[in-house]
Amino acid sequence: MDFDKLAYPEKFTISGVEYKGQRNLSQGKALVPYTDEPDVGIGDVITQKSGKREIHLKVVDVSFLEDGTLGVGTTHPHMLTMKVENITAQPHVTKHGDSTFNIGSISGENVQVGNSNTLTTNVTIQELAEKIAKSDDSEAKSKLKALLQNSTVGSLIGAGASALIGML
């Protein structure tokens, strides 16, 4: 049985030489057992065979560990560990731009600055009733009055509901 196929199922080309190895996508690592040290360093681009196509990987860190395989899953004694970035995928990955805002001063209530954030405002029913009572908006006054006269709302607010209705 060929243990390399099970433990190291992927094929990598490093400086024109093909090696069997294993790539961990979540960790961004590629492991390649070897006997003769591959010619690879930080900044190099290696390829991984993926079906009929190739994935280009940029090496961002590299470590050569003598006797690193301990003979597990391969006949090669040494282990090459590379941290890699998939440069084939980069043009297809959605980029989220960071924006920098330089603000001299802001004054006021309920100010929101930035992208994809939320603003939460808490207003008591009494504050809402007071602000609507001071406004000239008759529609808002009648809708709030109807809400406060609702039996369910009245039972939740209690005796304060009649005082709020009196404001309107």
Q: What is the pLDDT of residues 23-53, one digit of tens each?
A: 999 999 999 999 999 999 999 999 999 889 9
| Boundary residue ending a domain (90, 117, 145) | 90
Let me know if residue 116 belongs to a domain.
no
| Boundary residue ending a domain (68, 90, 112) | 90
My answer on whether 150 and 80 are in the same domain is no
Let me know if residue 105 belongs to a domain.
no
Let me know if residue 111 belongs to a domain.
no
- 8 Å CB contact between 54 and 102: no
* Nearest Cα to Cα of residue 148 among 138, 135, 159: 159
Estimate to the nearest angstrom the gap between the alpha carbon of 73 and the chain centroid: 34
Q: How far apart are the first and last CA of the chain?
A: 86
Let me know if residue 118 belongs to a domain.
no
Question: Could you give the number of structural domains in the chain?
Answer: 2
Per-residue pLDDT tens over the stretch 59-89: 999 999 999 988 888 899 999 999 999 999 8
My answer on whether 85 and 132 are in the same domain is no
Give the whole-angstrom CA distance, residue 135 versus residue 148.
Answer: 18
| Boundary residue ending a domain (90, 110, 133) | 90
Which pTM value belongs to this model?
A: 0.54
My answer on whether 62 and 133 are in the same domain is no
- Supply the CATH number for residue 86's domain: 2.40.10
Let me know if residue 159 belongs to a domain.
yes
Q: Which domain holds residue 156?
A: 125-167
Please determine, for residue 157, whether its predicted confidence score (pLDDT) is greater than 90. Answer: no
